[in-house]
Amino acid sequence: MSRDVHFCDSTLRDGSHPKRHQFTIDDVRRVAGALDRAGVPWIEVSHGDGLGGSSFNYGFSLVDEYELMAAALEEMSQAQLAVLLLPGIGTKDELKKAWDTGARLVRVATHCTEADISPQHLTLARELGYVTVGFLMMAHMNTPEGLVEQARIMSDAGAQVVYCTDSAGAMTPSQVAARVSALRAALPPDVAIGFHAHHNLSLGVANSLVAIEHGATWIDGSTCGLGAGAGNTPTEIFVAVCDKVGIKTGMDALALMDAAEDVVRPIMDHVPLVNRDALLLGYAGVYSSFLLHADRAAKRFGVSSKDVLLEAGRRQAVGGQEDLLIDIASELADADRV
């Protein structure tokens, strides 16, 4: 079936955050199989922080990510495997190992002002044969013009798709429109534009539709919204809405509803909600995967997680600074004792 939108489901990668990276082989097999049968074209599998993310700072995986990838591939007949790599966490060796395991698309992710650390990984990925994606995270922290400059670095290095990534779920529809349309106008026509949303302001589906209206042809989601913070654009809801408005995805909305209800929901430790802390992520512009880290730091030092997240927003903390949350909680506790 022809598609207006290429779709990547991140349940088994972004969903690793709320699962505390404790996916089992059986979890991965069941989810990957259900998504494959529903026609999802790309299924992303790795630690929540990408290749090499299993660590003290980000949380150790229950099962080695390459074992999870191999298990997913055994259940996939039409879908292909995607992975995420953050330079400085994942290495070129891990990029090669993921290719040998069977991954065929890689998203090389950097902060929205640090695309200059991506070229060596994008270049190698093109040489290996990957579909190459540049992933500009926390895109609300750069202007449309600044985002274009960063996107050009990625496209010049070989990115075939460049994503505007709303890692904090902080963007409004007008902000999405401005950034996506700027990318589409500035990049060559053979470089596609993608959009990745988080649901912290309950705008994941709406913002994804706005992105499509302004030139994005790659969209991400997670089944049941399983992802960091309040979760991602829920795959089954997005596809149902696309069916209603005439956007072709090539996916079966009813099969995705079954996958969400019968396969993904039973393995969720909690349902992603726009509760106070998740809403604060979007309100203050804080990286979505900080949610559980902030909660742990707050409990450790006996302070409010709300205050930790607000201070992280004031300091403009970015992905990779999870240890800063411990410092913030400690400082807040010291201030309370004065």
CA–CA dist 227, 229 (Å, integer): 7
> Which residue, among 46, 107, 47, 40, has the nearest Cα to 75 in the 3D structure?
40
Phi, psi of 315 (to 5 degrees): -85, 0
CB 164 within 8 A of CB 138: no
Q: Which of 6, 17, 21, 121 is catalytic?
A: 17
Phi, psi of 264 (to 5 degrees): -80, -45
CA–CA dist 1, 47 (Å, integer): 31
The residues pairing with 109 across neighbouring beta strands, listed in sequence order, are: 135
What CA–CA distances, in Å, run from 244 to 172, 237, 239, 261, 267?
23, 11, 9, 20, 29
CA–CA dist 163, 219 (Å, integer): 9
| Concatenated DSSP letters of 117-174 | GSHHHHHHHHHHT-EEEEEEESGGGS-HHHHHHHHHHHHHTT-SEEEEE-TTS---HH
Q: 3-class DSSP state for residue 194?
A: strand
Kindly state the tokens that stand for 320.
């990779």
Q: Which residues contact 253 (CB under 8 A, 6 or more apart)?
A: 236, 239, 240, 242, 243
293 is catalytic: no
The catalytic residues are 17
